[in-house]
Each structure stands twice: as structure tokens, then as C-alpha cells.
Chains A and B, each alone.
Chain A
Amino acid sequence: MGQPVLLRHVREPDQGEIEAYERRGGYTALRRAVREMSPEQVTDLVDQAQLRGRGGAGFPAGRKWKFVPKDAPVKYLVVNADEGEPGTFKDRTLLERDPHLLVEGIALTAYANGVRTAYVYMRREFYEARRRLERAMAQAYERGYLGRNILGTDFSLDVYVHPGAGAYIAGEETALLESLEGKRAMPRLKPPYFPAVMGLYEKPTVLNNVETLCCVPWIVREGPEWWLEQGPPQLYSVSGHVQRPQVVEAPLGTPARELIARAGGMRGGRRVKAFYPGGTSSRPLTAQHLDVPLRHEELARLGSMLGSAAVIVMDETTDMVKVIARVCEFYRDESCGKCTPCREGTVWVTQILDRILHGRGRWEDLDLLASLARNMTGTCFCPLGESVPPSLRAGLEDFREEFEAYIRAAREPVQMPVRLHLGAPAPGG
């Protein structure tokens, strides 16, 4: 295992200060890019590095940038620092421990895309992260890495931090743009609202996650071949029943078994029952998947996804019905209410799970949950509602006996509706 890249300097207490960041090689990539490279050359490097978005969707960043029309007079860069996918805390770590890395990534990305104004949309709870980032930005303005005529060139850039106010859905890119425009964070329909062509204020907008942008200075500085040789580096947020929950940097495709070991192993020496590989929107996997490479392709094959690479580990004592119910409640509470299958589906699912947990479950509930999972898939503007079915499917397929145990132990007799023979049966009766 080589030296970490994204986390190389996060343990240095002075890393947030510009002198320290420069001393460790910081801003050399920006210096070289604005003085010696064309914007297209910067984009090409990111493309060649096969950098994929680290926010959840995993879309190739270079390709995203190439969708942005070159000749548009006004374009924006929006940084998604709204980290909210349960179990994910790597962006917060980068923001707090190495804020200049993000500032440099923002400046490089703006340069590559011909952007003069950037907004960092940051969730409200990131008070410490915001203080650190704003301090770093002030230092960067002072040294001429941000502002007018950056490093004596004709490239200018202004960056603003924009606070969110508590809404998980704002992490979805089109909802984030609505929120940044001062509206309720409700997703837009794609097409036509692909941010790259019709984003903030309906102008072309580059939208990337914090970690994605933190990769850019390294790619520009060391080159795409070097970047790929490092793994490429990927941050996994490892939490749950591990000894030392932490952000682990490892080559993309590292299996959960190794990530768990690097987080100190399991608490109390217990065994793994299940783990979410990519936040609670991904399908949880079981102990038999501990050696699967945690990479986009392999996880998609298992009906799961890398998502935000939040690995939430659950040991053999975990009640999966309770975990899945908690996950579904989360999506119920965070649904923006725009699309019916998500708004209603999340409520029905949680009602059913609640009665199963409270000794009122019915055998037919299992099929009903499966049917709801089907009807919530592919029927909404955004992926929020679709984040419920992966947990339900895993529950019904891999942990079915736990659901059955609850239903078998149901204390109260189930109330059956009285069927009146007055012609056609009542709907659903």
C-alpha cells in the first residue's frame, strides 16, 4: 500500500494555512495550468484520468465538463458540499483538514470550463468546515489564486460559500440548483434540465462534488497515468460496528474485508452480518460479499452501487428489520413530496415495517413490500424514492427469515375486514 494521495496531508495541523499548503506542493498545478496550458488540456487530463464523480452518481467528470458549451458567455461552477448520504463523512474531512486542496480544485475546474463565478453549496451543519474553507479562500484571494487576473493572467474567478438550511434532497444536483436559486429544493426534470446545458439560472453549469474536485489538483500536477497507478485513490467512509470508524483512502475496488481491517476490525471481535457499500441508498450486501471489489461495475452487477462509498458495517447482532425500517423512515422524512410514488410509497413502506416491528405484521405484507419496491423504481424525477427499494429487496431476499420471525411472533390477531356480499368486492378487499 503506497502513500495516501487525497488524505496525504490531512493529519498535518497546519495544512489549512496557505504557507504550509504551498510548501507541500500546493497551487503548483494551478500555476502551471493558467500559465502553460489551455483549458481544453486541463479537461483532457481529467478525462484521461477517468475521474468519476464522487458524490454518488459516479458520472465521468471529464465527460461532464465536455458537455458544457464552450462559447456560452455565462457559465457557473457549483460545488456540492451538501454531504448528506447517511454514513458519508469524507467531504467534511477534506473541507476541515485540507481546504486549500478544494480551493485549488475549484480554480482549476473553473479555468478548464471558462467559469468566472463559483458557488460552494454547503450544508448548514458544517460550521467548522465553513470557517476553514472561508479562511482558506481569503488567503487564496490575498495571494492571487482567486479574484481578478489570477496569477497575472486574464483568468478571473469569484467563489462564494452558500449555506443550505437542512434538506437531504438538496444533495441531488437539480434540487441543489433550485435551492441555490432560493426556492424549495425540489428536483427538476431531466431533460431538459441537465445542469451542463441548463443549470443555475438556466445557464450551463458544472456541478461536482467536493472529493471529485479535490482529485483535480493531483491529476493536473502528477498526470493521469500516475493517478491511475495510485489505484485510482478513492475515499471510503467506514462506519458502524467497526472499532475505529474513519475515512479510509484505498485504491478504487478495495473489498470491504480490507476496509474493515483498516478501520480496526469489528467491535468485540464479532462477525459481519451485512454492510452498505455506498450509503443507505445502495443495496446492503452480506458477509458473503466481503471480498467483492467495491467498484462501480462489480456493485452494479449485484444490484447495488458504489454511491458515495459510505461503507456502513453491521455485525451479527444487528436487527436488519430495524435498520431497514430506520432507513425507510429517513427517506420518508426527506422526500420533497413532488412525485407521488416517492411521497406516498415511503409512507406506506414505513407503515408496513412499523406494524411488522410492533407485532402486527401480516404474511401478505412481504409481497406488498416487494410490490411497493417495484412501483417506486423508475417512476420519479430523482433517485430519492428509488433509494428505498434496494434496502427492501435485500431485506426480502437476503434477510427474509428476520421479517418472518417478527410476523410469526405477531402478538395480536390480525383484523380482517368483514366482507359484505353486496355485489362486487370492495377495492383491495
Chain B
Amino acid sequence: MLSERARRDIQALRARYPVAQSALVPALLRAQEELGWLPPEAMAEVAELLGLPVEVVAEVASFYTLLFTEPVGRHVVQLCTNVSCMLSGAEAVRQRVEEELGIRAGQTTPDRRVTLLAVECLAACDHAPCMMVDERRCGPLTPEDAAQLLRELD
């Protein structure tokens, strides 16, 4: 189910390490970049490419919070809820964002547009309260800024 290009990239990742399993997380991230998440078939394909048992792949994939073993929306929004952001109003941002999307943190909008995650410190406390919209770091945010950013997503 992976493209030829992704398969080639995964083989190139394999060559960076003396042990194939080291390439596992980077390979899963590469697969996820293409598919949005990691369906069992993709994990099986990565297992085969790296010569690993599929159980090992599943065991590792289920440990890391940014490896998605369930489908996610087109956009993933990570809202920091740790102390520095909390002191700067993260709770109000979260409430406004949940209201805007009509979902709670941890859920995906019914149209599969946005998955909202409440996350721990993003190492961006100089932008508190902050969130990541896909790969973009945004902050400091007022609740209204955050809602506006979400409205702009396709």
C-alpha cells in the first residue's frame, strides 16, 4: 500500500544504521506521512521492508503518541496543556478550540478535517499558550486567535 518512493526512502533509512530495527520509528513516520496514519497493512509492509516480525512493529508503534494507529483528520492540532501554557491561559484556548470544532481533545471532527490533541510541553514556552497546527508552531494565542487559525484550515 506504500508508494514506490516511500519504499525506497525506507530502504535508504535502513542504510543509516548497523541494525535494521533502528530504522523502525523513522520508517513508520515515513509511512504515516504518506497515509496519514498507520493501518495494520502499512505496519506489515514496514515489517517486511525491515525484516522485522510484525508484532515488534505493532509493539513499538503503540508506544509512541505521535504514531497514529487509528485514523486521524487531514490536520492534526496539538494543543499544549503543560504548566507554562496553563499559566498563560491554555485552558481558555482549549475550551474555545473545542467549541469551534465541536469535539473534545482526543477526538476527530466528523468530516475528518481536524484531529485535536491535548499534548505536553512543546518546548515553546516563549510562545505560550501555544499549539502546533500540523508542522507549524503557533503562539502566543488568544482563544480567538486559535479559533481563527482553525477556521482557515481546509
Q: What residues of chain A lie closer than 8 Å to B60, measured between beta carbons? A: 182-184
B87 is an interface residue with CB less than 8 A from chain A? yes
Is A165 a contact of B25 with CB atoms below 8 Å? yes
Determine the chain B residues whose CB is within 8 A of the CB of A239 once the complex forms: 84, 87, 125-126, 128
Surface stretch bound by B, among A35-43, A118-126, A351-359: A118-126
B70 contacts partner chain A, Cβ-Cβ < 8 Å: no
Alpha-carbon separation in the docked complex, A334 to B87 (Å): 21
B19 / chain A contacts, CB cutoff of 8 Å: 181-182, 201
- Residues of chain A within 8 A of B120, CB atoms compared: 84, 86, 168, 330, 333-334
Given contacts A86-B83, A201-B19, contact A184 B63 (CB under 8 A): yes
Give the interface size bracket for A toward B.
35 or more
A285 to chain B, nearest CB (A): 15
Q: A163 contacts B26, CB within 8 Å?
A: yes
B residues near A163, Cβ cutoff 8 Å: 25-26, 29
Alpha-carbon distance A310/B126, docked complex (angstroms): 11
A165 to B67, Cβ gap below 8 A? yes
In the assembled complex, which residues on chain A have CB atoms less than 8 Å from the CB atom of B3?
none
Q: Are B121 and A164 in contact (CB under 8 A)?
A: no
| A162 and B83 contact, Cβ closer than 8 Å, known pairs A87-B121, A167-B65, A184-B60 | no
Q: Does B11 contact A (CB under 8 A)?
A: no
* Interface mask (A244-260 → B, CB under 8 Å = 1, otherwise 0): 01110000000000000
Interface string of A232-244 (1 = CB under 8 A from B): 0000010111000
Complex alpha-carbon distance, A167 and B19, angstroms: 22
Residues from chain A with Cβ under 8 Å of B86 in the complex? 322-323, 326
- Does residue B78 face the partner (Cβ distance < 8 Å to A)? yes
Is the pair B16, A160 in contact by a Cβ cutoff of 8 Å?
yes
A211 contacts chain B at the CB level, 8 A cutoff:
no
Q: Is the CB of A240 within 8 A of B121?
A: no
Task: Find out whether the CB atom of B26 lies under 8 angstroms from the CB atom of A162.
Answer: yes
**Cα A83 to Cα B121 with chains together (Å):** 9
B66, A89: Cβ atoms closer than 8 Å: no
Inter-chain contact B121/A179, CB cutoff 8 Å:
no
User: B132 near A: Cβ within 8 Å?
Assistant: yes
**A-contact bits for B38-68, CB 8 A (1 contact / 0 none):** 0000000000000000000001100111110
| Complex alpha-carbon distance, A179 and B83, angstroms | 26
- On whether A165 and B64 interact (CB within 8 A), knowing A160-B16, A240-B87, the answer reads yes
Q: Give the distance to chain A from B138, nearest Cβ to Cβ, in Å.
A: 12
Given A182-B21, A183-B21, decide whether A84 and B65 contact each other with a Cβ distance below 8 A. no
Q: CA of A88 to CA of B124 in the docked complex: distance in angstroms?
A: 8
For chain A, residues 158 to 213, give those with C-beta under 8 angstroms from any C-beta of chain B.
Answer: 160, 162-168, 179-185, 201
A331 to chain B, nearest CB (A): 10
- On chain B, the number of residues with a Cβ less than 8 Å from chain A's Cβ atoms is 39
**Bound complex: CA of A276 vs CA of B135, how far in Å?**
29
Instruction: Tell me whether A166 and B82 are in contact (CB under 8 A).
Output: no
Which residue of chain A has the shortest Cβ distance to B24 in the bound complex?
A182
In the complex, the answer to whether B64 meets A167 with C-beta atoms within 8 Å is yes
User: B50: nearest residue on chain A (CB-CB)?
Assistant: A182
Q: Given contacts A182-B25, A201-B19, are A126 and B123 in contact (CB under 8 A)?
A: yes
Quick check: is A85 within 8 A (CB to CB) of the other chain?
yes
Tell whether A346 is near chain B: CB-to-CB under 8 Å: no
Instruction: Tell me, rounded to whole Å, the shortest Cβ–Cβ distance linking A281 to chain B.
Output: 12
Tell me if A166 and B67 are in contact (CB < 8 A). yes
Quick one: CB contact mask for A364-394 with B, threshold 8 Å, 1 for yes? 0000000000000000000000000000000
A residues within 8 A CB of B64? 164-167, 185
B61-97 CB contacts (< 8 Å) to partner A: 63-67, 78, 81-84, 86-88
| Known contacts A166-B67, A184-B60, A330-B82; is-contact A89 B123 (Cβ 8 Å) | yes
Chain A positions near chain B (C-beta within 8 angstroms):
83-89, 91-93, 123-128, 160, 162-168, 179-185, 201, 237, 239-241, 245-247, 276, 280, 310, 312, 314, 318, 322-323, 326-327, 330, 333-334
The list of the 4 closest CB pairs from A to B, nearest first, reads A182-B21, A166-B66, A165-B64, A239-B125
Which positions in B face A, CB cutoff 8 Å?
A: 16, 18-26, 28-29, 59-60, 63-67, 78, 81-84, 86-88, 120-126, 128, 132, 135-137
For this complex, 30 residue pairs linking A to B, each with C-beta atoms less than 8 Å apart, are A86-B121, A87-B84, A123-B123, A125-B78, A160-B16, A163-B25, A164-B64, A165-B28, A165-B29, A167-B64, A167-B65, A179-B25, A181-B22, A182-B22, A182-B23, A182-B24, A182-B60, A184-B60, A185-B63, A201-B19, A240-B83, A240-B84, A241-B87, A245-B84, A245-B125, A245-B126, A246-B126, A318-B87, A330-B82, A333-B120
